[in-house]
Amino acid sequence: MEAIRVENLEKRYGDKTALNGVSLQAPSGLITAILGPNGAGKTTLIRIITTLIFPDKGNVFLFGEDPFKEKKVFNRIGYVQELPNLPPFLSGRELLELSARLKSVPKEDVKRVLEMVGMTENANKKIAKYSKGMIQRIALAEAFLGNPEILIMDEPNVGTDPILNLRMRDILNEMVKNGTTIVMTSHELEEVKKLADKVFLIYRGKVFFEGTTEELILRFIGVRVILETDDKENLLSVLKDLDYVKGVEMYKEKISVELVRDAREELLKELILRGVKVKAFYLDQDLEQAYERAIKEADGK
């Protein structure tokens, strides 16, 4: 069953349409990423799911319940806002203790979440004195309080350093293993590629693509295999004979081979059979390029 279901959401700000009929489902116990260029409608969607704003039309269901009617469902959710605006006069620890009380989470959990985000040492400093990354860490810690069943994060990687990103990946994977459903928006495609089980690409208030990152790559780049060999001549002569090879591009050490269909196995067998010594053979996984092409297609270019 899906933890989050959104049906036909519409939202206008004056004459600006932010959401133009968005439907999506976030499957339970998986990580779903919402992608899209600036202004696509991602934050508007997250704000409606978390009931911070009302939609003009459409429905939201969290565990099958309407959160606009069943406020109790919020005890089961952790939420990280885009560019969190935390009270500067509190320390990180004070904020978390306050949140724990509001969420009816035992105070001891504050220690655990501070450790998770590496903020134990800085916990007693006032938020006013925190760096951007530290604020983000505390916002994440707040969302982790009480082990939420759904974790919703709007651009969690803004301001975070590579060490935290690495740690975050472990934390999120661990949470998912324990059954948490995660929904995040992000412009950090490398993080998305490593984390997301499913992505929704939003463009001008509509879902333009839904699938895995691999499917996004296959649809917008096609099947491209990257080969590395010291035996380029032999390789090229084999490739010339194969009707499923659409194009070949040469780079310094690599050769990119575009296929008309997913004939990876056949190609590898053929190369081995004809004695081409292949050092590396892998699918082109350039999510950034696939994303760029998807946006161009969405834009009708």
Ligand X SMILES: Nc1ncnc2c1ncn2[C@@H]1O[C@H](COP(=O)(O)OP(=O)(O)OP(=O)(O)O)[C@@H](O)[C@H]1O
- Decide whether 42 or 76 has the Cβ nearer to ligand X: 42
Question: Taking CB under 6 A as the rule, does residue 293 contact ligand X?
Answer: no
Q: Which stretch binds ligand X (CB under 6 A): 42-50, 116-124, 274-282, 292-300?
A: 42-50
Pairwise CA distance, residues 226 & 249, whole Å: 10
How far apart are CB 208 and ligand X at their closest, in Å? 12
**For 245, phi and psi rounded to 5 degrees?**
-90, 120
What is the closest distance, in whole angstroms, from the C-beta atom of residue 288 to ligand X in the complex? 16
Contact 80, 52 (CB under 8 A): no
Least Å from the CB of residue 48 to ligand X: 10
- Name which of 95, 183, 107 is nearest 146 in CA terms: 107
Q: Which is nearer to ligand X, 36 or 146 (CB)?
A: 36
Nearer to ligand X by Cβ, of 13 and 68: the residue is 13
Is residue 52 involved in binding ligand X (CB under 6 A)? Answer: no
Q: What is the dihedral of CA 216, 221, 222, 225, to 10 degrees?
A: -110
CA atoms of 35 and 17, how far apart (whole Å):
18
Residue 185 beta carbon to ligand X: minimum distance, rounded to whole angstroms: 7
Segments of 14-62 assigned E as strands: 16-27, 31-35, 57-62
Asked if 104 touches ligand X (CB under 6 A), the answer is: no
Q: From the list 9, 31, 35, 44, which residue makes contact with ligand X (rule: CB under 6 A)?
A: 44
- Coil/strand/helix, residue 158: coil
Radius of gyration of the chain from its Cα atoms, rounded to whole angstroms: 23
DSSP type of residue 129: G
- For residue 213, state whether it binds ligand X (rule: CB under 6 A): no
Indicate which single residue of 32, 43, 51, 186 sits in contact with ligand X (rule: CB under 6 A).
43
Q: What is the per-residue DSSP string for 85-113?
A: ---TTSBHHHHHHHHHHHTT--TTHHHHH
Contact call for residue 78 and ligand X (CB under 6 A): no
Q: Binding pattern to ligand X, positions 12-41, x when CB under 6 A?
A: -x--x-x-----------------x-xxxx
Q: Strand 254-259 and strand 223-229: pairing?
A: antiparallel
Q: Does 42 bind ligand X (CB under 6 A)?
A: yes
Which residue, 11 or 93, has its beta carbon nearer to ligand X? 11
Site size toward ligand X (CB under 6 A) is 11
Alpha-carbon distance 157 to 272, whole Å? Answer: 43
Residue pair 92/141 in contact (Cβ under 8 Å)? The answer is: yes
Closest to ligand X by CB, 10 or 231: 10
- Give strand pairing partners of 225: 257, 283
Instruction: State the minimum distance, in angstroms, from the CB of residue 73 to ligand X.
Output: 23
Task: Name the site residues for ligand X (rule: CB under 6 A).
Answer: 13, 16, 18, 36, 38-44
